[in-house]
Amino acid sequence: DTAVSQTPKYLVTQMGNDKSIKCEQNLGHDTMYWYKQDSKKFLKIMFSYNNKELIINETVPNRFSPKSPDKAHLNLHINSLELGDSAVYFCASSQAWTGGGGVTEAFFGQGTRLTVV
C-alpha cells in the first residue's frame, strides 16, 4: 500500500513531445511537491501545492505546468520536451506547516526517470 506513488516509473520520449507524470498520495497530507534530480544529483524543488493551491513555484520554464485536481493528486505536465529535461522527477507530500514546531518530513515517491531523445 504505497504512500506516495508516481507513474510512470520510466518515460522515454522524443524532443518536442508533451508528456505527463502523475502523482498520488494516500497519507492525507495537505502539501505536495515536485522535485527534480539533475545529472549532478541535486534534488531541486520545482513546485509545491498546499490544499490544491500553488504555493511555491521555483524558476522553472513555463513548459512545466503542475495540476492539482484534489489534495491527494499533483500531476506534472511538460510541453515541448527538451534534451535538458532528462532527469529523475520525484513527487513528495508532507503535512502543511502548522505554525508550531516547524515542518514535518516529506514522503517521496519512487521517482520517474525521464529520458528525452
Q: Give residues in contact with other proteins (CB under 8 A).
A: 4, 30-31, 33, 35, 40-45, 48-50, 55-56, 90, 92, 94, 96-97, 99, 101-103, 105-111
CB of 16 to other proteins, least distance (A): 28
Q: Please identify, using beta-carbon distances, which residue of 81 and 106 lies nearer to other proteins.
A: 106
Q: In the complex with other proteins, which residue's Cβ is closer, 69 or 101?
A: 101
HEC-encoded secondary structure of the chain: CCCEEEECCEEEECCCCCEEEEEEECCCCCEEEEEEECCCCCEEEEEEEECCEEEEECCCCCCEEEEEEECCEEEEEECCCCHHHCEEEEEEEECCCCCCCCCCCCEECCCEEEEEC
Select 67 or 97, whichever has its Cβ closest to other proteins: 97
In whole angstroms, the minimum distance from the beta carbon of 48 to other proteins comes to: 5
Q: How far is the CB of 80 from other proteins (least distance, A)?
A: 27
Give the nearer residue to other proteins in terms of CB position, either 30 or 65.
30
**Shortest CB 93 distance to other proteins, Å:** 10
In sequence order, which residues have a C-beta less than 8 Å from that of residue 64 and are 6 or more positions away? 46, 47, 76, 77, 78
